[in-house]
Amino acid sequence: MTQPPPMPFCELLGIRVTTSTPDRVEAEMEVRPDLCTVPAVLHGGAMMALADSVGAVATVLNLPEGAWTTTIESKTNFLAALPVGEVARASCTPIHKGRTTMVWQTRITRADGRLAGVVTQTQLVTAPKK
């Protein structure tokens, strides 16, 4: 497993990267009450943050020396609720890995295997600073 960069926001949310390679990043996040909306299900923004974080890790693992990245577009389909106490599992794979942009799809599943969300995001690849 390639070691992902330190990500303070991931620590705040409790995101644990379990697999990180240039072609797949997997992570999990416990659905805690402070990440929920009413009625005690994962807030959509928290689900999006999980996906955005694994997409960023995936991009960083593919960057040329000195380059960096930022998200420029993200689209989420919410398909099933993740209740408090569950673990959200994210699996991120590439759709496109180019020189100036990368596009990633993250599938978020519940413990029962049901698909909870699908996120497609575009990451801008910034040129190395000279």
| Cα–Cα distances in angstroms (integers) from residue 65 to residues 61, 62, 68, 127, in the given order | 10, 9, 9, 9
Give CA–CA dist 102/122, Å, rounded: 6
Q: What local confidence, expressed as pLDDT, does residue 4 receive?
A: 67
Place of tokens 């994962």: 42
Enter the pTM of the model.
Answer: 0.94
List pLDDT tens digits, range 16-57. 999 999 999 999 999 999 999 999 999 999 999 999 999 999
Give CA–CA dist 94/105, Å, rounded: 6
The mean predicted confidence, pLDDT, of the chain is: 95
Task: List phi, psi (to 5°) of 115.
Answer: -75, 120
Q: For the chain, list the domains and their CATH numbers.
A: 8-126 (3.10.129.10)
3-state secondary structure (DSSP) of residue 51: helix
Q: Which of 109, 104, 123 has its CA nearest to residue 29?
A: 109
